[in-house]
Amino acid sequence: MKEDDVIEPNEIIIDQEKTNEEISDIDPFSRFLARFLDYSIFTIFLVILSKKLPFLNNIFESSEFIPIQFALWIPIEAVCLSYFGYTPGKLLLKIKVRDLYNHKLRFKSSIKRSLSVWFKGLAMGINILNLIALFFSFYKLKTYKITSWDKDEKCKVTHKKNNKYVTIFCVVFIFFTLILQIYTKNI
């Protein structure tokens, strides 16, 4: 055997499947879409709930309820992230949130991350401020390749390439939910 035929340990690729799975190109649009897909699914749940429990109708129909609606999602998101590693929107758009050791987040870390997203990333849903917060979150993610809430909680967010039809479906679903909200307020 020649010396050239020897394989060095650093030449061996271990866990090739994982390498292919986790395409970590930063994709703020997919993350934004996943978050608002989650909010849309939750909104549909709240609309159905308000129709089944009429005393909730006035609360859910108020535009002042929108920030509270975002806040109500926080514990649900935290449970999803700590139990599954993703939310329904993240699952559909092939986004995973893990700790630095590639484990699902603990509940405490998930709840802190979700609160931070609500506070820093969405400015608690307060009109105008939330648009500014979204812009700065987008800018920081593109520039620094990480959000402050992921950095604070030592999270890594991985992406797989999305099918364009799934992306189109998500956009249409979100617009459908907005129309549904407007329609149900006028009934």
Q: pLDDT tens digits for 54-110?
A: 777 776 666 677 788 889 999 999 999 999 999 999 999 999 999 999 999 999 999
Residue 128: burial class (beta carbons within 10 Å; 0-12, 13-18, 19+): exposed
* Rounded Cα gap, residues 88 and 13, in angstroms: 32
Residue 9: burial class (beta carbons within 10 Å; 0-12, 13-18, 19+): exposed
Q: Which two tokens stand for residue 13?
A: 């690729």
List the alpha helices (DSSP H) in the chain: 16-21, 28-52, 57-61, 66-83, 88-92, 107-116, 129-144, 148-152, 164-185
> Given pLDDT bands bounded at 50, 70 and 90, which one contains residue 25?
confident
* Rounded Cα gap, residues 161 and 23, in angstroms: 7
Domain boundaries, given as residue ranges, for the chain: 24-185
Q: What is the pLDDT averaged over residues 157-163?
A: 91
Quote the pTM value.
0.82
**Does the CA dihedral 139-101-163-20 come out positive or negative?**
positive
